[in-house]
A and B are shown apart, each in its own frame.
Chain A
Amino acid sequence: MSHPFSVQGNGFAAGGTNRREFIKIITMAAASVGLTSSAATRIAEAAARGLKPSVIWLHFQACTGCTESLLRTSHPAIAELILDLISLDYNETLCAAAGHQAEDALQKAMAENAGKYVCIVEGAIPTKDHGIYCKIAGRTAVDLVTEVADKAGAIIAIGSCASWGGIPSADPNPTGATGAPMVLKGKTVVTIPGCPANPYNLLGTVLQFVTLKTLPELDEQGRPKWAYGRPIHEDCPRRAHFDAGRFAQKFGDEGHRQGYCLYKLGCKGPATHANCSLLHFGETDTWPIGIGHPCVGCTEQKIAFRVPIHTTIDIDRPTPPDTYPPIHAQQGHVSTVGAGVAGVVCGALLGAGWMASKKLTGGEGEQKQAPDRKEG
């Protein structure tokens, strides 16, 4: 078959890399996700020994974009690496088998690797009406994911759909689509949101689990902090333009052509946690802002498919701009109304007193006030 991958018992064949290149690539990949070169050697050795952890990859309400994104990595052949490092025992997109054969493979992998396999979830899980809106082999997604996750050693939700519901969960959310963590309550679910997720984020997480047997530090939404700890805005190459107040106001205008900040065009960078600005996509270093389109916030549940793409958002934690206050900045102002009123009243009182004193007749024994004065 023309498909580059085919099921061969315990794994896929790596396509055409020799051992030195293999080590080099592994080292690069490890470094890019923060693991040391010694870890890289351990990965290579473990892989060579054939100790590959089992991975069960579930698809639900998905477009398969995350899988495709993973497969499109080719320089280096990360996809191949992953598939060399792990034993992908179940993946509906990639497996050649179908029907009962595929399901048997799933059950076998679960039984043989109970407590050790990595369960990767792609796509949202519908929960409305007992979850009937996504059924595979007659079983609802909810049931499937609960069963598979139950005996998993690690659970990773890839993509925004699996992380929090993604596009199927957009209003009015007719199927009650939700993410894996919401269905698998009580379990630690690593979420790798994005639409699609950056494949290197998955790579880093898997590498760490495979070599160090630990999961990366996660934030309160289960996202690896090393990838989702900072908003796009903090590491955006166009940040200098933002700080200096240089914005593209319309698509195609001079500012847009000059590569100015896309905030006014609706960039969600300031509120979106991801590492797209550092780790681009597709090996051609492309990423949305890089090609002149504002970030749509695809990793954030509050933004993606909720806030219109070209609507400006508030800056959560403003930072100083590219200007400096002078040593002595003008402050305070004189209220002209205040000055006027004060002058009038004080002048009137003093003047009245001064003039009224004329009416005071002098001398001892003088009684009473001037005849036209009222009682005080």
Chain B
Amino acid sequence: MNGQTLVHSPVGGKLMTGPFKVLLAVAGIGAIVALYRFFLGLGAVSSLNDGYPWGIWIAFDVVVGTALGCGGYAVALLVYILNRGKYHPLVRPAVLTSLLGYGFATLAVTIDLGRFWSLWKVAILFWRWTHSPQLEVALCVAAYNLVLLVELSPALFEKWRSSPSTSLRAWSERGLRFVDRGLVWILALGILLPTMHQSSLGTMMLLPGPQMHPLWFTPWLPFLFLWNSIVIGYAVVVLEASFSAAVFGRRRETAMLTSLSSVAAWVALCWVAFRLVEVAVAGKLPLVASATGIAFLAEVLLATAGAAILLSQERRARPMWQVRAAILLLLAGALFRVNTYMVAFSPGPQWSYFPALPELLITFGIVAFEVVLYIVAVKTLPILGGAAPAAAQR
């Protein structure tokens, strides 16, 4: 580990910038459409039907959304389990991104659920707990949201530590001490929970059995989903770090990201290798030569391309290629998940689905809202690493 002390500080600066307002507008539109959905039902704003009851809100907002929130998980594995402390500065922003990812996935679930007012029963009515894989996901995600909140609380407490109110200062000191003492137990939970539910997201799509395309129907699906979430996690961390460095003027930890990208590349290659070997060993290779096979190839090729870029040492060190590779890995990972939930799942040739415009507007709104909160958090809370340079106070 290097000898520098780790400092976080808010970025500060004007909140209501042009792009911020645009994001707010998109989020606002999404909110209005969501209101529509709550009063008129799912059919009024989406193309969801009885053949495809799950659309982009589940396949993208929830399944990919939680994976986008695996940055914290992926970095925690590196920093706390594999003891690579040099990645420490990446942790807090990653935890923020994770909390936002999981929080908004939960929001998306609430919008998607037809009878969301019964959601509390899932946590409370434990004598009815079934062995449904989805129950596991639901409880885990709910718990993980809390864990992330606790993991991020030091940022909040640090800000309040310098608050004019004495009681708030006292509480934040106590909070910081509490988190510090229980850190190991909280962090261990923060690694256990995503392991559990990311794999269960895969298990979930084993249930439709005969309706699943063989290229995605394998008992290794939970493992593939878990590994895939780590790939996406690293990609998100790279993108988030690059974005915030470029936009908020913080120091870009290029060296750290270089070695992180190397880890990401190998993890991605392992995923690709496993995927191909599994398909080959199960004798499913001939299926790749079909229309649906193209989706499979896309997943594999995009991941390989992203990893290939990062295998070259020269490219790996350049931010442009780090970002481009991360985009490819992210795309590949997201594609795998969307494929599993919407392409591999086929209820019959008579059914078709593509998201309707209001459905898309809600998704865009959710993503925009996520970015809005990210910006607000980064500007007002000590999230990003590095001291606020005097000149940077605008």
Interface residues, chain A, with chain B CB atoms under 8 Å away? 328-335, 337-339, 341-342, 345, 350, 353-354, 357-370, 373-376
Contact = CB atoms under 8 A, between A and B. Distances in A.
Given A333-B352, A360-B323, A373 B247 contact: yes
B353 A332 contact: yes
B80 interface: no
Given A354-B327, A364-B254, A375 B13 contact: yes
16 contacts: A332-B351, A334-B352, A334-B353, A335-B354, A354-B327, A362-B317, A366-B252, A367-B251, A369-B249, A370-B246, A373-B246, A374-B19, A375-B247, A376-B20, A376-B247, A376-B375
B156 to A, nearest CB: 22
Contact of A350 (B51, B255, B331, B349): B331
B242 interface: yes
Given A357-B320, A364-B255, A338 B47 contact: yes
Nearest to A339: B354
A361 B18 CA distance: 24
Nearest to B23: A376
Interface in B224-239: 239
A365 B4 CA distance: 14
B350 interface: yes
Interface string B312-351: 0000011111011001000100000000000000001111
Interface stretch (B136-144, B213-221, B357-365): B357-365
Interface string B6-37: 00000001100111100000000000000000
Contacts of A339: 354
Nearest to B52: A332
B305 to A, nearest CB: 12
B247 A369 contact: yes
B352 A332 contact: yes
A359 B18 CA distance: 20
B355 interface: yes
Q: What interface size band does chain B fall in?
A: 35 or more
A335 B351 contact: no
Given A335-B355, A353-B323, A362 B360 contact: no
- Listed from nearest, the 9 A-B pairs whose CB atoms lie closest are A376-B247, A360-B319, A357-B323, A328-B350, A334-B354, A362-B318, A332-B49, A332-B352, A357-B320
A123 B351 CA distance: 61
Given A332-B49, A357-B319, A375-B394, 16 more contacts: A328-B348, A331-B49, A331-B50, A335-B47, A335-B354, A335-B357, A341-B360, A353-B239, A354-B327, A357-B321, A358-B320, A359-B246, A360-B252, A360-B323, A365-B251, A376-B17
Nearest to A359: B246
Contacts of B288: none
Interface in B348-394: 348-357, 359-360, 364, 375, 394
Contact of A331 (B51, B246, B327, B331): B51
Contact of B242 (A329, A334, A360, A376): A360
A266 to B, nearest CB: 35
B89 to A, nearest CB: 13
B320 A331 contact: no
Given A328-B348, A361-B319, A338 B359 contact: yes
A367 B249 contact: yes
B248 interface: yes
A299 to B, nearest CB: 40
Contacts of B359: 338
Nearest to A330: B350
- Main SS of the interface on chain A? loop
Contacts of A376: 17, 19-20, 247-248, 375
A364 B2 CA distance: 14
B246 A366 contact: no
Most chain B CB within 10 A, of A339, A363, A376, is at A376
Contacts of B50: 331
Contacts of A342: 354-355, 360
B354 A369 contact: no
B13 A345 contact: no
A338 B356 contact: yes
A302 B388 CA distance: 81
Interface string B240-282: 0010001111011011000000000000000000000000000
A374 B17 contact: yes
Contacts of B255: 364
Most chain A CB within 10 A, of B249, B321, B349, is at B249
Contacts of A365: 251
A353 B321 CA distance: 12
Contacts of B252: 360, 366
Contacts of A375: 13-14, 17, 247, 394
B254 A362 contact: yes
B360 A360 contact: no
Contacts of B348: 328
Contacts of B353: 332, 334
Contacts of B318: 360, 362
Contacts of A330: 350
A345 B319 CA distance: 25
A190 B343 CA distance: 66
A364 B253 CA distance: 7
A76 B323 CA distance: 99
A209 B242 CA distance: 95
Contacts of B17: 374-376
B324 A354 contact: yes
A247 to B, nearest CB: 31
Contact of B254 (A329, A358, A363): A363
B298 to A, nearest CB: 13
A177 B229 CA distance: 80
Nearest to B15: A375
Nearest to B252: A366
A336 B8 CA distance: 47
Contacts of A369: 246-247, 249
B64 to A, nearest CB: 12
A328 B349 contact: yes
Contacts of B350: 328-331
A342 B357 CA distance: 8
Nearest to B321: A357
Most chain A CB within 10 A, of B246, B364, B375, B394, is at B246
Nearest to A358: B320
Nearest to B318: A362
Contacts of A328: 348-350
Contacts of B317: 362
Nearest to B48: A332
